[in-house]
Structure 1
Amino acid sequence: MKIIAIRHCKAAGQENIAPLTAEGEQQARELAAFLEGQHFDCIISSPFKRAIDTIKPFAELNERSIQVDERLAERILSCEDDPNWRSNLERTYIDEHLKFPGGESTYEAKERITSFINDLQTKSYQSVLIVTHGNLLSLMINLYQPSFGFKEWELLSNPDVYLIDVSLKDVSKLWAH
């Protein structure tokens, strides 16, 4: 099974209802053109507005529906305002069980994404298109490429596109913008 995993386009915030910016809307149209001609057994998105809106132009052009799966939602580092969130996030790549108040550990987020991938495999899909968020995408890649960590997360762009070949346990970056 192959997964095309997309990080959402530029958004106006981090809230789950944050829309894409005007630039993000243009990126979503460019992404639709980039994916043109590819067939996917299904399209699955995080429930966050910015993720759904990222893939909506492609889905509309191809007359496809977008399924929503909560397991693709962004990982919550903490429910408290944390001025040191970036350094604390980096710490979670080193200590996968580190958990902040109201947040989800790296280990828990990886369990969530593993559950999602296992469910896809039981459906015998060949090619799946998913849209998620930077941190969760980096943890998904890390399942197949353990060297992909905090530094690589920092280098992700909005949007970003990766091909994950689950069978071969191989990851390659597709988006070169």
Structure 2
Amino acid sequence: MPTLYLIRHCSATGQEPAASLTEAGHEQALLLRDFFREVPIDRIISSDYTRAVASVTPLADAHQLSIEREPLLRERILTHEPLEDWLAPLRQSFIDPTFKLPGAESSEEATHRIIQVIERVQSQHAATLLVTHGNLLALLLQRLDPHYDFETWRTMRNPDVYRLDFNDSTPVIEHIWPHK
């Protein structure tokens, strides 16, 4: 079974697909590169959003790997309308995976997208980095281990890194990002 590294992107200027990294985000991307310097990596698959790709570009360059852009790793769409209180529906979506606002994506639907990517790479014997967004990553973690929840999302950092291994098809998750 492969080892998967699940990465939340570095600090960005916004939430839109073309949002770039902040100055701190660029520094964080270099920290990611250094963190993975001695780790054998065979493949990098990233959300096609600018901030996700930019988060691992220095790492990809250091490992001489290309970055495969994967739309299934895009951030989950909670709503298309501005919300004064968006934390309440987000919290509700962790409690009820079928909950969704009009025209948006439920937790169940979003999780299904990232699970498709996990299943595709799980059958390979390669160390793979999956670069995604906080909400989608937290939903994946919750699907694999129910003790991850809304509070997991709230305490995630930019960037953040989890290692995912499968022990006889049982997921083993380890939070490995040491930087504060």
Distance 1:83 1:51 in 2: 26
- Aligned-residue CA RMSD (Å): 1.1
Q: Is the 8 A contact 2:43 2:126 kept in 1?
A: no
Q: Is the 8 A contact 2:41 2:63 kept in 1?
A: no
- Report the counterpart of residue 21 of structure 1 in structure 2: 22
Specify the code of the residue in structure 2 equivalent to 1:89. Answer: L
Q: Does 1:78 align with 2:90?
A: no
**Could you state the TM-score of these two structures normalised by the residue count of structure 2?**
0.94
- Report the counterpart of residue 107 of structure 2 in structure 1: 106
Which blocks of at least 5 consecutive residues in structure 2 are unaligned? none
Deviation at 1:86, TM superposition (A): 0.9
Matches within 5 A, 1:88-167: 88-122=89-123, 124-166=124-166, 167=169
Specify the code of the residue in structure 1 equivalent to 2:176. Answer: L
**Could you state the TM-score of these two structures normalised by the residue count of structure 1?**
0.96
Q: Is the 8 A contact 1:80 1:102 kept in 2?
A: no
- Report the counterpart of residue 56 of structure 2 in structure 1: 55
Q: Secondary structure at the match of 2:113?
A: helix
Distance 1:176 1:33 in 2: 12
Matches within 5 A, 1:30-45: 30-45=31-46
Which blocks of at least 5 consecutive residues in structure 1 are unaligned? none
Distance 1:21 1:100 in 2: 30
Specify the code of the residue in structure 2 equivalent to 1:84. Answer: D
Q: Deviations over 1:78-97 (max 9, x none)?
A: 11111111111000001110
Deviation at 1:125, TM superposition (A): 3.0
Q: Percent identity?
A: 39
Q: Deviations over 1:127-171 (max 9, x none)?
A: 211110000110111122111010111000000000011334111
Deviation at 1:62, TM superposition (A): 1.6
Specify the code of the residue in structure 1 equivalent to 2:25. Answer: G
